[in-house]
Amino acid sequence: MAPLPTITTCPAELSAEFDHGVASGLYSTFFEECLGWFHRRMEDLSLKSTCLLEPALQHVDAVRYLFRTSIPTAGVFWAKSNEHSQRQCKACDEVCELLRWGEVQRRRENAYQGSSSSRVIHDSYLELDLCASVTGCDTCRIIRRAFLLEQITGNDAESLGHPDNQWPIHVILQMGSSGGSLLQLAIKSPEALHFSATIRLSNGPWPPPRDVIKGIPSLRSDLSELRRVIDDCHRNHECSSRYRWSRRNPTWLLKILTSDLVQLVEGPPTPVDYVVLSYSWGDPATMPAAEWARIKGAGTKTIDGQPVPERLNPFRIWDLPETMQDAIRISASLGLFYIWIDNVCIPKGTNWDTEASKMHEVYGNAAFTLLASSSGKATDRLLRDRLAWTHRNRVSQLRELWWLHNTQMPLDRVRFESPVSRRGWTLQEERLSPRIVYWAGQQWYWSCPECQVVEMGEPNCTSPTADEASRSYPQRFLELCRTGDEHQLHEEWLDIVEAYTLRDLVSPKDRFLAIAGLAVRFYNAKAGNGGTVITEDYLAGLWKDNFARHLAWAVATAVDSRHSLQHIAPSWSWASLPLQVRTKAKGPFTPSEHFRFIAVRHLGPARPTSFSATGLRESSTGDDDPSTDYVNRGRVIEERGRRVKAVEVRGRFRRFISEDAQQMLWDDIEWKRGAGGRPRFDFGAFPGQNVYARNRGDGRIVSKDAHSGEVVGQLDYLVRPSDHDAPQTRQTPYVPEGSEKEIVCLELGDSAMLLLVPSRKWGQPKAFRRVGVAVGYTGRKGFFYGCCTRNVVME
């Protein structure tokens, strides 16, 4: 064992350094560095016995004593043992005052529900951090860990200690009527809330504390525990037998040769266990050009269609960005020596259309997907010291009734709030993966259809069919594809739409490619039931068998038309919206008996393809039925579907606004209500009149006939200033001011309609383009009564 540093021989230097830190407003990091060294030595040497541990602890106590004696007379870092043998600093007396207040409320009213006033317990996070380190205050250690566990990425955790984030720490006691209580923590400036955290309070030490030695968490992730969880899934669960797509490996894989040496190899002919990395490349607009060039440059180049020799021969992992490097190390540490990384294993010049449509197979056949939740860009590290586990927390008891416990961050928060969740490509990577490791900054999460496990937590193993609607379930799409529940499968696709439209893409042209694997898997689920007649078809992100339902998507509020993607997708598809738009696609829906899908009327240009025994190949015809093999045909159906530009449908049809309707100001008819109330309208000042009004801020538009209820629609795009120089035939995705009476509507369901305007793009007067939707107009269900039914071409 290497000797520990003789830190007790230099008190003067330590005192001088610490005094300098206090004077400059920043505390010395020397003690944390010593403690970090100590933990790393423990991990390297696997110290397990108390006889080896005690001498090391004595050195740490010596450092703590030196810091304690160097602290100015403020006394905030002085700690004492309370009546429960808990280390407690003076700042924690503020917490006890809150608890005393809570006891008084409980005595007055047993089911009291409410919140206390706010108290400040520390002037900054750095002060809290130093208190937890120097005094060993048990409460401050729990509070410190609470803040760190709330940070999804490693960068977020480190930002707690940034000088710009040093603001007072506020605490509120929140009491529930059923007896449950929480400490709500916040680091906030007068202008903004910077960080928040929660501590659970109970009347007993639950869960029981772990063994003093075995319960010491490492500053690095517990990969031995993760390996046990993965092995248990492969041995005892049905995930592989239920969800593995085929026996094929990806076309190319990275083979891990040593700890720092890898090689690009062709996928072996027999199945191998490989890891798939799901990560965010990052936003090129927010990083230096050289950094983005390095990420892009990690891609595998080709010569004459084959990867360059530099990749086919062994090469150092240092040639790859840091997220990839650490993913390789994690895989090797878990005993898995193949990994698939998109930027490396899809060589440049490869047909991305074909590769994208095979993602259900790449992810479905993997041993697991490593989802880099802690990484905001490809140059971020996955392997770093986890600050939440710097100290060994003991169970903390204050006063007689209160025990403090850290809470686990729910998996849903990691899924929906991590940087990787904002990237378009990662949506299908998650939902096509039967087994996922979410790698967060402070701990890992495991999720498969039969079990969820959090590092340092207890497993939550529940059958996916038991109360699946109320639990976090990333594999729900795969489960519905397997069971073939057609109604729920369509609802799940609408959930995918809502999640996908919120996400960003580096290249908008990838709008359809980034969910191609999901579309193929959806089609195969519908076509794989043994039927001889398959009616389902993919139509620019929507599905024909439930087309009216899929057309009824709406934006939460109108968006800027300048970023519209109608050059990529038709107006009636959600894919035509700008990136990162909140949409509403789910909800009650009863289809109209008058609505019918007729046919696809226009396909955009593409390299025509057909199916052969070896896959997709060039062909002179692209619209023929390529195969009766539904498994492979799904890829062709998806490729054709993203080219659909115009469809013909049939349904009841009429004007949205009467010809003689008078335009009113929105503020003259809207009935103002409190926050969260449903919008109401007052037409009392306009009796017996046909009227309409438009909200230029959020895109709502209301139409009311004289003696009937109103219908409220939602336009997709905001009003833009008129372009007087543009020709009248110019196609614009928004309705110009004064053109509202051109809007017509097509019935989709019992209380759902499309809002359309005429389009001359295809040279025929019955072509229309979408400008919005009206859904849920319960006060005017007879809106289409007696209206004619006609065929309409939508583009």
Q: Is the bond preceding residue 269 a cis peptide, omega within 30 degrees? A: no
Average pLDDT of the residues in 277-294: 93
Residue 106 — very low, low, confident or very high, per pLDDT cuts 50/70/90? Answer: confident
The answer to whether residue 553 scores a pLDDT higher than 80 is: yes
Q: Which two tokens stand for residue 396?
A: 């903390």
CA distance 251 to 105: 66
CB 365 within 8 A of CB 248: yes
Q: Rounded to the nearest 5°, which phi and psi values hold at 167?
A: -130, 165
Q: Which of 257-261, 439-443, 776-780 has the lowest mean pLDDT?
A: 776-780
Average pLDDT of the residues in 524-551: 87
Most confident segment among 5-14, 383-392, 396-405, 588-597? 588-597
- Within 8 A by CB and 6+ apart from 236, the residues are none
Q: Check residue 504 and report its DSSP letter.
A: B
CB 507 within 8 A of CB 611: no
CA distance 461 to 471: 11
CA distance 758 to 746: 12
Most confident segment among 395-409, 411-425, 609-623, 669-683? 411-425
Q: Which of 257-266, 342-351, 460-469 has the lowest mean pLDDT?
A: 460-469
CB 346 within 8 A of CB 284: no
- Within 8 A by CB and 6+ apart from 705, the residues are 658, 661, 690
DSSP of 597-659, one letter per residue? Answer: EEEEEEE-----EEEETTEEEE-S-SSS---S-HHHHHHHHHHHHTTEEEEEEEEEEEESS-T
Residue 670 — very low, low, confident or very high, per pLDDT cuts 50/70/90? Answer: confident
CA distance 792 to 795: 10
Domain residue ranges of the chain, discontinuous segments joined by + = 7-72, 80-211+389-406, 221-384+413-483, 605-641, 646-794
Q: What is the CA radius of gyration of the chain?
A: 31
CA distance 185 to 120: 10
Residue 756 — very low, low, confident or very high, per pLDDT cuts 50/70/90? Answer: very high
Report CA 124 to chain centroid distance, whole Å: 30
Residue pLDDT, tens place only, 177-229: 777 899 999 999 999 999 999 999 987 766 654 544 445 556 778 888 999 99
User: Given CA atoms 363, 366, 367, 372 in this order, what sign does their dihedral have?
Assistant: negative
Q: Which two tokens stand for residue 518?
A: 């999901």
State the pLDDT at residue 238: 85
Average pLDDT of the residues in 727-749: 80
- Alpha carbon dihedral 191, 197, 203, 209, in 10-degree steps, equals -150
State the pLDDT at residue 83: 66
H-state helical runs in 401-555:
411-417, 425-431, 476-483, 486-501, 516-527, 547-551
CA distances from 19 to 9, 68, 266, 753 (A): 18, 12, 60, 71
Residue 323 — very low, low, confident or very high, per pLDDT cuts 50/70/90? Answer: very high
CA distance 309 to 469: 50
The answer to whether residue 652 scores a pLDDT higher than 70 is: yes
User: Given CA atoms 554, 560, 563, 569 in this order, what sign does their dihedral have?
Assistant: positive
Q: Which two tokens stand for residue 384?
A: 């770093």
More confident residue, 711 or 240: 711
Residue 607 — very low, low, confident or very high, per pLDDT cuts 50/70/90? Answer: low
Angle, alpha carbons 299-303-306 (nearest 5°): 75
| 149: nearest Cα among 445, 471, 378, 474 | 445
Q: Rounded to the nearest 5°, which phi and psi values hold at 476?
A: -60, -40
Beta bridge pairs of residue 542: 539
User: Average model confidence (pLDDT) for the chain?
Assistant: 82
State the pLDDT at residue 398: 85
- One-letter identity of residue 739: S
The answer to whether residue 15 scores a pLDDT higher than 70 is: no
Most confident segment among 218-222, 718-722, 736-740? 736-740
Q: Which of 258-272, 355-369, 676-690, 766-780 has the lowest mean pLDDT?
A: 676-690
Average pLDDT of the residues in 714-722: 82
Residue 46 — very low, low, confident or very high, per pLDDT cuts 50/70/90? Answer: very low
Burial bucket for residue 742 (CB in 10 Å: 0-12, 13-18, 19+): middle
Residue pLDDT, tens place only, 461-519: 654 444 444 445 899 999 999 888 888 999 999 999 999 999 999 899 999 999 999 99
Q: Quick one: residue 580, left, alpha or beta (phi over 0 = left, psi -120 to 50 = alpha)?
A: left
Beta bridge pairs of residue 704: 691, 710
